[in-house]
Amino acid sequence: MSVPDHGARHVAIIMDGNGRWAKKRFLPRVAGHRAGVEAVRTIVRAAGDLGLEVLTLYAFSSENWKRPEEEVSDLMGLMKRFILSDLDEFAANDVKLKVIGNWRALAPDVVALIENALDRTSGNKRTTLAVALNYGAQDELVRAATAAAATGAITAEAIEAHLDTADMPPLDLLIRTSGEVRLSNFLLWQSAYAELYFTDRLWPDFKPADLAAALDHFARRERRYGGL
């Protein structure tokens, strides 16, 4: 696949601000998450149009279990509906689904849904949508280092080969919406040389033009990987 003009192959997004989006409209938080799912749909399509190979989205962190039970159940429900209802859309747009994080520990019905979606989309080639579910970078690193140790020396290469993202191109650009400036335990290893881009836009308001602007910003950066 040829690399598009902006030069990025892999973009990740911390989708933040659903709650504030809803609050501004005097709506319940779940309405913000629902609007967040709509933004996911639009941005996945845009990622393909903009020539990205992989779009990784932070959908549910290993820390999100601390939220009220009702919100956790709303988020899981939205996720299940998204995976079910968008299978045709994935096929139409040639999107391969991937899930990173400790997703096999989720409820059996969610695991079964995911396995089916992974299987159904495994032949798609244009864009990979990697959804981070029950994901925490420290947990990922512990798992990767443990697996590396079991096979020999713990080297950077061995750890990298056991990360959830092992089969993906290196992360080029990490975006966080809603004005918060932190990584919140997302892709800590993969961010070592990624460009970081923070925008005040709340996630449900994040549009294809915002993704294009972030990629434009990326295209103008000079990446030195520690050199001069």
Q: How far is the CB of 35 from ligand FPP (least distance, A)?
A: 8
Q: Nearer to ligand FPP by C-beta: 5 or 38?
A: 38
CA distance 225 to 105: 36
Query: Which one, 19 or 136, has the nearer CB to ligand FPP?
Result: 19
Smallest gap, in angstroms, from Cβ of residue 56 to ligand FPP?
10
Which residues have CB under 8 Å from 135's CB, separation 6+? 58, 60, 61, 62, 100, 101, 102, 103, 164, 186
With 0-12 / 13-18 / 19 or more C-beta atoms within 10 angstroms meaning exposed / middle / buried, residue 86 is buried
Q: Which residues pair with 60 in a beta bridge?
A: 133
Point out which residues bind ligand FPP (CB under 6 A): 15-20, 33, 36-37, 40, 57, 59, 64, 75, 78-79, 82, 131, 178, 203
5 or 88, CB closer to ligand FPP? 88
For ligand FPP, the closer CB: 72 or 212: 72
**Annotated catalytic, 124?**
no
174 by DSSP, 3-state: which? strand
Check 64, 102, 124, 185 and give the catalytic one. Answer: 64
Q: Quote the DSSP letter at residue 2.
A: P
Among this protein's residues, is 116 annotated catalytic?
A: no
- Smaller CB separation from ligand FPP, 100 or 148: 100
Q: How many whole angstroms separate alpha carbon 84 and alpha carbon 26?
A: 29
Closest CB 14 distance from ligand FPP, rounded Å? 8
Q: Which residues pair with 173 in a beta bridge?
A: 11, 195
| 3-class state of residue 97 by DSSP | strand
Three-state DSSP class for residue 65: helix
Smallest distance from the beta carbon of 150 to ligand FPP, in angstroms? 32
Least distance from C-beta 144 to ligand FPP, angstroms?
Answer: 23
Active site residues: 16, 64
